Amino acid sequence: MGLSEERLRRDERSRAGGGSREAEQGVDLDALTAELRERVKRKREAGVYGPEVAKALEAPLPGGAPLPTDDGGDPLVALAAAVESEVAYDPRSRKPFIGPALTFARRALIGILRWYLHEIVHRQDRINEAALRALRVLSERESADIVGRVEALEEAKRREAIHQGAVHMDYELFAERFGGLESQVREQAERFVRRFAGCKRVLDIGSGRGTFLTLCKERGIGAYGVDLEERLVRRASDAGLEAYRLDAEEHLRSLPDGALDGIFAVHFAEHVLPGHLFEILRECKRTLRSGAYCIMATPNPSTLTVGADSFWLDPTHRKPLPPEALRFYLQISGFEPVEIETYNPSETRLSEDGLSGAALANVRLLNQTLFGDRDYAVIGRKP
C-alpha cells in the first residue's frame, strides 16, 4: 500500500467526524513515542537513516568550542580545552585620534602589572592543571572502585536473602514434613469464621490451600485470598475459590478506605519484620470498615516448647511474637478492643495425678509454661 493511499484513508476518517470528537481526548504520548521510535528503527534498518544522517545529527557546531550543553559533551574534555586555551587580548585601540594614546597607555599598564600578575597567573595555572589531573584520576580510578564495591555489596545482600529464607530448600517438602494437618488447619479456621458471619468482603492474607476460603464459601461469607505461592494460588483458583498471587501490603495499599469487612491472617505475622508488620497493620485498619474484625494467628512463643523449638523449624520465620506484643501492635495501630485467644494445646503434659498442694501448683505452672497452647490469635476490632 502506498503512503498516499494510507494518508487518503486517514483523511477520510478524520473528515467523517473523527477529528472533532478525538480533539476531546488528549494524545496518548506513550503509544505515540513507541510508534515514533519504531519508525526511526525501521528507517535505520532500511538504510534510509544511514551513517551520513547519523553524522549530521551529531555534527559539531563549527567555528569554536562545542556548546557546553551539547548532549554527550564530556565535561572533562571541555575543562581540559578551557585550561589549555590561550587568553587573547589585543591592547590596540582603533578609535580615531585618541587610539594610539590608548594603545600606549594599555601597553604601559600591562607592562607594569605583568610582574605582579605573573606569579598569580602562574599559580592559578598550576591549580587548574592539578585540579584537572585530580578530576581525571577520581573519575577513572575511584568510580571503578565504587562500582566494584557496590556490586560486591549487592551480591552479599542477595546471598544473605537466599540464606536467610533458605530459598534453596524445597518448601513444599518442608510443608509436607512439618506443616499442620489439613484437619488442624480446618479446625483453626472454624474457630474464627463465626466472627465473619454475614460479611461480604473478607480478605485472607496468606490464603494457602484455601481452607478458610472454602469454609467461608460454605457459610455464605464473601471472602478472597492473596498469597505469594503461585502453585497454592492456582490450586485455590482451580477449586473455584477467589485467590490472587499478590503481595499483601501492596494489595492493601491499592484498596480504598473501608473496602473490607474482615481480615484474617494465619501464620503470617511471624514471616514479616516488626516494622513491616506495623505498616501492614496500619493499612489493615484503614481498609476495614468500622466494627470489622482483624484476626491474626501465630505460634505462641510463651509456650517454651514452641518458642525454643518448633517455631524455629521454619527457616522463613523472622521473629517470635509473644501474645502481649502482638496485642500491643494492634492497639497502637488503632484497633480497640483487642482480645487474645490461645488454642491448640500440647499433646505432651506432665502428669498431675495424685499431686496436691505446692507440688500440684508447681507442676501446673510447668505444664503451662512448657506445654501450654501452641497457637494464639489476636482479635482486634476497628472502632
Partner 1 sequence: MRSWGYESEAFAVEAKREVADQVLPYRRLFRTVTPDDHLLMHFGLGDETYDRLAALPSRQALVYHNITPPEFFDGLNPHAAHHARKGRAQLRALATRVPLGIGVSEFNRRALEAAGFARTAVVPILVDWKRYDVAPDPEVLARWRGPQTNLLFVGRIAPNKRQDQLVRLLAYYRRCIDPAARLHLVGSYRDQPQYHARLHALARELGLGDAVHFAGGVSASALAAYYATASVFVSLSEHEGFAMPLLEAFRYRVPVVARDAGAVAETAGGAAIVLREGDLAVYAEAAGVIVERASLRERLIGLGERRLQAFSHEAVAAGLRSALGI
330 close to 294: Cβ distance less than 8 angstroms = yes
Span of 67-75, 262-270, 339-347, 366-374 interacting with partner 1 by CB under 8 A: 67-75
Supply angle C-alpha 368, 344, 213, rounded to 5.
155
Span of 16-24, 129-137, 209-217, 285-293 interacting with partner 1 by CB under 8 A: 16-24
Does 83 participate in binding partner 1 (rule CB under 8 A)? no
Span of 44-52, 140-148, 283-291, 349-357 interacting with partner 1 by CB under 8 A: 44-52
Q: From 311, 287, 328, select the one nearest 375 (Cα to Cα).
A: 311
- Sheet bearing 338-345, strands edge to edge: 243-245, 223-227, 202-205, 262-266, 293-299, 373-381, 338-345
Among 1, 31, 45, 57, binds partner 1 (CB under 8 A): 57
- The nearer residue to partner 1, 18 or 383, going by C-beta atoms, is 18
Does 108 participate in binding partner 1 (rule CB under 8 A)? no
| CA–CA dist 376, 264 (Å, integer) | 13
Does 30 participate in binding partner 1 (rule CB under 8 A)? no
What would the x/- binding string for partner 1 be over residues 344 to 373, using CB under 8 A? ------------------------------
Span of 8-16, 141-149, 258-266, 326-334 interacting with partner 1 by CB under 8 A: 8-16
- Closest approach of partner 1 to the CB of residue 26, in Å: 5
CA distances to 182, 245, 250, 267 from 224, rounded to whole Å, are 19, 11, 16, 17
Does 25 participate in binding partner 1 (rule CB under 8 A)? yes
Does 184 participate in binding partner 1 (rule CB under 8 A)? no
Among 56, 120, 173, 358, binds partner 1 (CB under 8 A): 56
| CA–CA dist 58, 64 (Å, integer) | 15
Residue 379 pairs with which residues in a beta bridge? 295, 339
Phi, psi of 115 (to 5 degrees): -65, -35
Q: From 344, 349, 340, 381, select the one nearest 368 (Cα to Cα).
A: 349
**How many residues are present in the chain?**
383
207 close to 235: Cβ distance less than 8 angstroms = no
373 close to 300: Cβ distance less than 8 angstroms = yes
Span of 66-74, 132-140, 288-296, 305-313 interacting with partner 1 by CB under 8 A: 66-74
- Closest approach of partner 1 to the CB of residue 65, in Å: 5
Does 173 participate in binding partner 1 (rule CB under 8 A)? no
Among 1, 2, 5, 24, binds partner 1 (CB under 8 A): 24
- The nearer residue to partner 1, 3 or 173, going by C-beta atoms, is 3
Angle between helices 323-332 and 274-287 (to 10 degrees): 50
186 close to 211: Cβ distance less than 8 angstroms = yes
Catalog residues that contact partner 1 under the rule CB under 8 A.
Answer: 3, 7, 10-11, 13-14, 18-20, 22-27, 29, 32-33, 35-37, 39-40, 43, 48-49, 52-53, 56-59, 61-65, 67-69, 71, 82
